[in-house]
Amino acid sequence: MPLKATAHIEAMSAFALANFGGFDRPTLAQNESAFPPSPSAIEAGREAVARSYLYPDPDWTLLRDAIAKTYGVERDLILCGAGSMDLIACTIAAFAGPGADVLGTDYAYNFAASAAARVGATYVKAAERGFEVSIDAILAALTPATRIVFVCNPGNPTGTRIKNAELLRLRAALPGDVLLMIDQAYGEFDDQDPQAVFALAGRGDTVVLRSLSKAYGLAGARIGWGLFAPQIAAEVRKMQNSNQVPTVSLAMAVAALEDQAYMRSTVARTADSRDRFAQGLKAAGYEIPESRTNFVLVRFADAAAATAADSALRGADIVVRGMAGYGLADCLRITIGPPEVMDRTLRALTAMRGRRCW
Ligand SMILES: Cc1ncc(COP(=O)(O)O)c(C=O)c1O
């Protein structure tokens, strides 16, 4: 008899990562930071290497202190994880399973669907309108099976944001036994005051997730955090591997948080570069939703035009992300990378419009 995986695991697809085509240099395909982390984070990581013979602090003590101080949030509500993916997966595993629905939106970060499939839950999508999350569509899509609502703010791959007032309206309209997960991996790129949304976590029916992978440039260190009421945190921690954030990563994260000026400068430089790139593409006739993140979604005439542009860019050593997995085969998602790469990408895409490649 051949060895078989559990039926629902065998039936699911593996989470789709970017196809690098053998590139070993930074790409514009993974929404990594265009800039390295703060020099003080790099130095702290170097120093922590020597402590790596010990297991890391399972309670993330110093990291929680730094997060509480930096973001003005209650220390006791903070959980950390190996990237926010860890917290997404563990929260969904703890609160959904066979017979339960996880309700996302058309273009919410796909990993939530994968996390639901892992535990045999059903992932359903509420329609977005013009690449923006519609709170009314989410409320209309609720069923008695809905256990979790998952929204990204700002969204990946659209880059668009939900106004805080709309999120508060969503929470107020959801039944108390539906867990609202608000994924803010790109939250530092959004200029809305986060406190009203952070405060939702205190209700005991909402979690808010953040990442150090984007604005802090620590994707390779794998650090995420979130705000969880104690009764939710207790269940999520049962699903987490202990000691999952490495010693070096913890040290880097604390130092990165302590250097807010550097993070703010990364965000400002990235946003400037993004807005220049988006303006250039719009001037060339491309359609681009307004991004509050470190990437833009570019729409082409059709899927063939997007595929042709993807191949032409790869030919010029520029790797971007195809969006067929989101049902957006006519779009490419382009991370904001180093300025020189953005200039080359803009020139290449502008030339394609000139040649009417789409
Ligand atoms: C919306 C969103 N949430 C979460 C993540 C995962 O981030 P992390 O690196 O913290 O696991 C990503 C990564 O691209 C993302 O785009």
For the stretch 289-348, pLDDT in tens is 999 999 999 999 999 999 999 999 999 999 999 999 999 999 999 999 999 999 999 999
pLDDT at 119: 98
CB-based contact 228:76 (threshold 8 Å): no
Confidence check: pLDDT of 70 > 50: yes
Return the ligand 1 atom nearest residue 30 CA.
Answer: 14
pLDDT at 353: 81
pLDDT at 49: 98
Residue located nearest, by CA, to atom 14 of ligand 1: 31
Q: How many CB atoms lie within 10 A of CB 15?
A: 15
DSSP state of 224: E
List the structure tokens of 87.
Answer: 């917290």
Partners of 128 in the β-ladder: 133
Return the ligand 1 atom nearest residue 88 CA.
Answer: 4
Confidence check: pLDDT of 117 > 90: yes
Domain range 7-34+261-354, its CATH number among 3.40.50.920, 3.40.50.300, 3.40.30.10, 3.90.1150.10 = 3.90.1150.10
Using CA atoms, how far apart are residues 268 and 76, in angstroms rounded to an integer?
31
Q: How many CB atoms lie within 10 A of CB 333?
A: 25
pLDDT at 358: 46
105-108: long-range contacts, CB 8 A cutoff, minimum separation 24: 105/133, 105/134, 105/137, 105/138, 105/150, 105/151, 105/152, 105/155, 106/326, 106/327, 107/131, 107/155, 107/156, 107/157, 107/158, 107/326, 107/328, 108/133, 108/150, 108/151, 108/152, 108/155, 108/183
For the stretch 2-17, pLDDT in tens is 899 999 999 999 988 7
DSSP state of 240: S
Using CA atoms, how far apart are residues 303 and 68, in angstroms rounded to an integer?
45
pLDDT category at 26 given cuts 50, 70, 90 is confident
State in Å: Cα 355 to ligand 1 middle.
36
Domain ranges of the chain: 7-34+261-354, 39-259
For the stretch 184-223, pLDDT in tens is 999 999 999 999 999 999 999 999 999 999 999 999 999 9
Give mean pLDDT, residues 79-87: 98
Closest CA to 342 of 298, 291, 272, 277: 277
Q: Which CATH class is domain 39-259?
A: alpha beta
Q: What is the mean pLDDT of the chain?
A: 95
Give mean pLDDT, residues 79-98: 98
Q: Among 15, 85, 244, name the best residue to mutate to test ligand 1's pocket (greatest count of ligand atoms within 8 A of Cβ).
A: 85
Using CA atoms, how far apart are residues 241 and 111, in angstroms rounded to an integer?
19
89-122 burial, b at 16+ Cβ within 10 Å, e below that, comes to bbbbbbbbeeebbbbbbbbbbbbbbbbbbbbbbb
State in Å: Cα 186 to ligand 1 middle.
8
Partners of 133 in the β-ladder: 128
Domains 7-34+261-354 and 39-259 share a fold: no
State in Å: Cα 4 to ligand 1 middle.
31
